[in-house]
Amino acid sequence: MHKPLLSMMIVTAALTAAPTLWAAGAADAIHAMEPSVRMAPPGQDQTGAYVTLHNSDKRDHALVKAASPAARATELHTVVDEGGMKKMRPVPKIDIAAGGQTRLQPGGPHIMLIGLTQPLREGASVPITLTFEDGSSKKISAPVRAITAPGAMSHGH
Amino acid sequence: MGRLLPLAAAVLAAVVLGMLAAHLAGPRPDEPALPRGGDFTLTAADGPVALERLRGRVVLLYFGYGSCPDVCPTSLALTTAALKALEPAELERVQVLFISVDPGRDTPETLKQYAGYFHPNIAGVTGSPETIATVAARYGASYRMTPVDSAAGYVVDHSSVTSVIAPDGRLVEQLPHGTTPPEIVAAIRRWLPR
| DSSP, res A102 | E
Question: Is A80 at the interface with chain B, CB within 8 A?
Answer: no
Which of A41, A115, A150 is opposite residue B151, by nearest beta carbon? A115
Residue of B119, B150, B180 to mutate when probing chain A, most A C-beta within 10 A: B150
Q: What percent of chain A has pLDDT over 70?
A: 80
C-alpha span between B189 and B194 (Å, rounded):
9
Please, what's the b/e burial string for B163-176 (b: 16 or more CB within 10 A of its CB; e: otherwise)?
bbbbbebebbbbbe
Q: How far is A53 from chain B (nearest CA, A)?
A: 19
Least confident of B13-17, B67-71, B89-93, B108-112: B13-17
pTM of the model: 0.80
C-alpha span between B149 and A95 (Å, rounded):
20
pLDDT tens digits along A36-86: 999 999 889 999 999 999 999 999 999 999 999 999 999 999 999 998 899
CB contact (8 A) between residue A152 and residue B144: no
The pLDDT value given to residue B30: 53
Which phi-psi region, left, alpha or beta, contains residue B178 (left: φ > 0; alpha: ψ -120 to 50)? left
At A130, the amino acid letter reads L
Give residue B47's Cα distance to chain centre.
Answer: 20
The pLDDT value given to residue A148: 82
- A chain contacts of residue B117, beta-carbon cutoff 8 Å: 41-42
Which of B78, B114, B160 is opposite residue A86, by nearest beta carbon? B160
CB contact (8 A) between residue B144 and residue A151: no
pLDDT tens digits along B13-65: 665 555 555 555 555 545 568 999 999 999 999 999 999 999 999 999 999 99
C-alpha span between A19 and A11 (Å, rounded):
13
pLDDT tens digits along B132-161: 999 999 999 999 999 999 999 899 999 999
Q: B130 and B45 in contact (C-beta within 8 Å)?
A: no
CA separation, residue B27 to residues A82, B131, B174, B193 (Å)? 26, 28, 10, 17
C-alpha span between B177 and B122 (Å, rounded):
17
CB atoms inside a 10 Å sphere around CB B103: 17
- Out of 3.40.30.10, 3.40.50.720, 3.30.465.10, 1.10.150.110, select the CATH number for domain B37-191: 3.40.30.10
- B chain contacts of residue A77, beta-carbon cutoff 8 Å: 70, 150
Q: What are the residue boundaries of the structural domains of chain B, listed by start? A: 37-191
Burial of B91 (0-12, 13-18, 19+ CB in 10 A): middle
C-alpha span between A26 and B99 (Å, rounded):
44
C-alpha span between A113 and A142 (Å, rounded):
12
C-alpha span between B135 and B101 (Å, rounded):
10
Which of B76, B114, B157 is opposite residue A44, by nearest beta carbon? B114
C-alpha span between B120 and B8 (Å, rounded):
51
How big is the A-B interface in CB pairs under 8 Å?
102
Question: Is A151 at the interface with chain B, CB within 8 A?
Answer: yes
CB contact (8 A) between residue A77 and residue B70: yes
Residue of A86, A87, A91, A114 to mutate when probing chain B, most B C-beta within 10 A: A86
Residue of B62, B74, B122 to mutate when probing chain A, most A C-beta within 10 A: B74
Q: A38 and A119 in contact (C-beta within 8 Å)?
A: no
